[in-house]
Amino acid sequence: MTTAFPSAADSFARLVRRIPSDAWSGPGLGEWDLRSLVGHTSRSLTTVISYLENPAEREDIATPQEYYARVNPAALGMDPAEVAERGREAGRDLGDDPAGAVDALVSRALARLNAVDDPLITVLGGLGIRLQAYLPTRTFELAVHSLDITRALGISFALPPAVLEEALVLAARIAAGQDGDTVLMALTGRDALPVSFSVV
């Protein structure tokens, strides 16, 4: 495997094990409580598992940054409320032992990945993408939402360097196709990014 996904998955699982039992119903992100935020994040594991069971016949998406351009709620005509509910449902699916459930998902996902090379898989929207192009998008999601979780908890937590690097590189590549000059000026101290600016 050539991505930081395994490290991101293991790091996420370690973080979830640190969540106090009385924090799960507390604030998470936006309209999500912490359980829903963790559930949404865990979908980066469940989708790897399920998509490996759905081979694609053609490659519609060639790169991780193209994935973000084509597989998003707006492009697919999805209701944001539906996305939010998926997070809540995934949180409920973690059951009475969320940390144990996440550990099990990590084990399943990594075991499945170790058994394959780089197949074409079918992702949301019925689009085909190579596994090795899809995994960096999951590393990105695990990294960003792990940081969301640490903010919600008010704890210190450091992403593994390879995970942080892969997520940052992908963010820059996404930005280059949208507002690259804006991001470059901000990263070099020329300007500040607009309020609530996001590349995804």
Cβ neighbours around 25 below 10 Å, total: 10
Q: pTM for the complete prediction?
A: 0.94
Confidence at residue 82, expressed as pLDDT on a 0 to 100 scale: 87
Q: Which of 149, 140, 150, 146 is nearest to 200 (CA)?
A: 140
- What DSSP character marks residue 191? S
Report the SS3 class of residue 167.
Answer: helix
CATH number (1.20.140, 1.25.40, 3.30.70, 1.20.120) of 4-157 reads 1.20.120
pLDDT at position 58 is 97
Q: Are 67 and 6 in contact (CB under 8 A)?
A: no
- CA–CA separation, 178 and 160 (whole Å): 27
Kindly indicate the confidence band of residue 73, based on its pLDDT and cuts at 50, 70 and 90.
confident
Count other Cβ atoms within 10 Å, centred on residue 77.
7
pLDDT band for 96, please (50, 70, 90 cuts).
very high
Residue 47, Cβ neighbours under 10 Å: how many?
Answer: 18
Cα(34)–Cα(101) distance, integer angstroms: 15
SS3 55: strand
Helix, strand or coil, per DSSP, at residue 122: strand
